[in-house]
Amino acid sequence: MAAVVTAALLVALGCAAAEEPRPIKDVDNSFSASYLKSHLHYQEPGNVNGANDFDDEYGYTQGGRVALSWMGHLDVDNVYVFTDWQGTEGAVNYTGYFQGGGPVSGGKSRATINELNFRVGKGFELGPHWMLTPFFGSGNRHWVRELGLGTTGDFNEAYNFWYWAFGGMVQYSPSDRVVMTLDASFGKTAHPTITVSENVAPGFCAACLFGAGLGEKPIQRYGLDFDCRVWKGLHTFAGGNLEYYKFGASAPSISGAFEPFSRTSVFEWTTGARLSFSGWNSD
């Protein structure tokens, strides 16, 4: 959180001398690119195969995000369309079981995550400084865990799911050129699966878990963005996002191998630049 506040203050300092009006729609009609740092926390809580062990994976990954946003007229005013792609990678801490047939403490794993999101909605202007935009969202998340990093028994687990959600975005322009955006959405994962690589720890049934279905569970997403128009259509911004979701357990295979219930939280910090389609008309 301190990183988000620091980045937001730097953006604010760059806006201090701005005097010209800065509409909210400049942010909603834009292309952006940003640096992304992410904190991942994955847990498999409870009793696993009667061993009272669990997987606990946490640490930082980093990468980038690109996004495209449009708000305009399509029979009705303020139709909103948004899409983004992001990718991160990094080595994170791992504590758990079933590597080499026994518990592991102080291990490392590599997390490689790609995510695609899409939103469509309609904006409602609540006076000159506010915009409320309900939306429907959908997307895909693909996460590869390389467990046993740096050992001869390393193997991959790939989690994949689609999701759908309903949410809303509130935008407020407190002063010239500055826009703050808060969004939240709630939905459910769809078609979650796990695939385990061929090079697996002894006794684990890789073939039986190839594309194995996981239980569909709720997903929550929250975001905060602080934007400043620096010059014409050029903006800087900083923000944070929180994503929380769960996986249900897979059905046991013939050999008894299965993927247990899990929960994942991802907190992200972003900072980057935004180019507004409409902002170039400003002086």
Are the CB atoms for 170 and 181 separated by under 8 Å? yes
Q: What is the per-residue pLDDT across 200-219, written as a single tens digit (0 to 9) for each? A: 555 554 444 565 668 889 99
Percent of the chain with pLDDT over 90: 51
- What pLDDT digit, counting tens, does each position of 6-20 carry? 555 555 545 644 433
**pTM of structure:** 0.82
From CA 191, how far away is CA 53, in angstroms rounded?
27
- Residue 149 in this model has a pLDDT that exceeds 80: no
Burial call 258-270: b when 16+ CB within 10 Å, e when fewer = bbbbbebebbbbb
CA distance 1 to 240: 8
Q: What pLDDT does residue 21 have?
A: 38
Over the chain, what is the mean pLDDT? 82
| Domains defined along the chain, listed by start | 2-281 (2.40.128.100)
Token digits for 151? 């050992």
Q: Is residue 24 scored above 50 in pLDDT? A: yes
